[in-house]
Chain A
Amino acid sequence: MKKYQPSLDRRLTEEDFKNLFLKEFANLKNYAHSIVKENETSSDIVQEAFLALWENREKFENERNPKPYLITIIRNKSINYLRNHKKYHPDLEAIEDWEQHLTVQSTDQYTQKQLKAKIQETLDHLPPKCREIFMMNRQKGLKYKDIASTLGISVKTVEAQMAKALKAFHDNLGEFIMLLLAFFMKIFF
């Protein structure tokens, strides 16, 4: 994990705070997103965590790294959100290993380029309806029920088409998946 090295031999000033926010937001949001799986919710949770940090900033005088504090708050808030929506299951938590999303998973540019091309190709080969539904969900962030009502189809159909799209990505991205999973295993096992 990349460590945040604050030069805080003094108080956490507004400027430090802003810099910390800009630097860590994306990573922390990925983390929250890996738990709650909702775009806006994950942004809200990270923002709430930063607000908590700001309100408790006097605790972070003298070099105490605020990042673990943010991570803890985000984790708690995210799990609470799942619980409140009856979506939490400890087995899923154990299988998914959310913490891995705190590290940036970088691949080299070449792989990245190939991956992009492969994803584009997969997208191009999806049946038009399937692609439309997938794009509405992934790019416009529409919920299944909104897609269903916009297109005048059932939620069940949206589910089936989304699954079809995921299957296509899974089947076409095999080599990348294996590469990443192997990498992941090496670190954690």
Chain B
Amino acid sequence: MDVPEDILELITSYLSGELNEEGIRRLVNWLNESADNKKLFLEYKKAWELQASIMEPAIKPEEEWENFRRKNLSAFMKNEVKEKRTNSRFGQSYWRIAASLALIFISALAAIYLFRNQEVEILQTQAIKEIFTLPDGSIITLAPNSKAIYDGSYGKKERKIMVTGWAYIKVEKNENLPFRALAGNLEILVSGTSFYIQSSATSQDALVVLESGKVKAYRKGNPSDAIELKPGQAASYISSKDIFTITHPEPNYAAWNTLRFYFNNTSLEEVVTLIERAYSIKVKLSSPDIGTCRLTATFDNQSPEAILQVIASALHLKLEGGNTEFVLKGMPCQSNK
């Protein structure tokens, strides 16, 4: 038995939390018409829950706990101090502070310019991503081989942070303390929101992808030509052309953080690059020709080995190696699907 289209839309909107009062009334009227309608509704609800169990981001109690504690600092003040010192879970390199500016390459100049005479805090990652809490409670997740710098004035008059590489920032809402992030030649201004930001280590190229809330993005130092982004939109700066534009983000921009990959007729070359970056591993192709094979698949939070196994069997390749170095061997794909 089929559900009329308009009712199906009501059910879908209801299950995704989008149905308003009028819609709910119409849905209930239909449900009360017959027991069959109720049964159909439950079937669709189950279908919704089944897809959600696979599709929706997994619940992460540890992150929720961090949020909880941060929000309710007064209740946990004593604990906070203690745990900061003894936290060993995320702790090994929790606040990695480089001793000397001399260690920093490109960003050193910019940092000196930005943070004159101030002592700076440098957050830096190596092979794995790390989560840091900033003094105001904002949270920054740094991708492998990325860096963020802020100084002692952070959180006093404003909040300013400079990013090289990829970072995901959840800004604690505070209308009185504007939050500015600088990446390459891109500057963005927000009050409370979450976004991904990226800048190249060697050029002024940069990209920001807004996840929720609002941000203004502009060329560094030119707030007058700001573009306001909506969730899901991206703005990028391309230094070779000195262009600053709104774009649609690539589907996998957040993969390094979420470990979710969406490949839709994506070339193996690109697939491999994304996986290498997300897991800090090396994947060699036995010949460059294989790189043109195309793959459609999604992966969610799986080990790199598991992902590569699936890819290998889908493309009739052989996977060798392990740990952090893999090789995909085989014949080039005949036709690009």
Contact = CB atoms under 8 A, between A and B. Distances in A.
Contacts of B212: 141
B79 interface: yes
B239 interface: no
Nearest to A162: B12
Contacts of B243: none
A180 B48 CA distance: 13
Given A29-B59, A91-B31, A138-B56, A159 B296 contact: no
A134 B72 CA distance: 35
Interface stretch (A2-10, A60-68, A69-77, A143-151): A143-151
Given A120-B297, A166-B11, A138 B52 contact: yes
Point out which of B11, B12, B38 has the most chain A C-beta atoms below 10 A from its C-beta: B12
Given A139-B260, A173-B47, A163 B5 contact: yes
Interface in A96-115: 96, 115
B230 A146 contact: yes
B132 interface: no
Interface stretch (B16-24, B154-162, B180-188, B325-333): B16-24
A64 to B, nearest CB: 20
Interface stretch (B63-71, B219-227, B274-282): B63-71
A169 B43 contact: no
A86 interface: yes
Interface residues of B, number: 61
Contacts of B75: 51, 54-55
B65 A25 contact: yes
Contact of B61 (A22, A140, A147): A22
Interface residues of A, number: 63
B50 A177 contact: yes
Interface of B is mostly: helix
Contacts of B27: 92
A140 B196 CA distance: 13
Given A22-B65, A115-B50, A166-B44, A87 B15 contact: no
Interface in A19-65: 21-23, 25-26, 29-30, 36-39, 43, 46-47, 50-51, 54-55
Contact of A159 (B12, B28, B52): B12
Given A51-B72, A115-B50, A149-B230, A143 B18 contact: yes
Interface in B1-49: 5, 8-9, 11-21, 24-25, 27-28, 31-32, 38, 41-48
A165 B52 CA distance: 12
Interface string B283-305: 00000000000001110000000
B48 A47 contact: no
B211 interface: yes
Contacts of A22: 61-62, 65
Interface of A: 14, 18, 21-23, 25-26, 29-30, 36-39, 43, 46-47, 50-51, 54-55, 86-87, 89, 91-92, 95-96, 115-116, 119-120, 122-124, 128, 135-144, 146-147, 149-150, 159-160, 162-163, 165-167, 169-170, 173, 176-177, 180-181
Interface of B: 5, 8-9, 11-21, 24-25, 27-28, 31-32, 38, 41-48, 50-57, 59, 61-62, 64-65, 67-68, 71-72, 75-76, 79, 211-212, 230-233, 260, 262, 264, 296-298
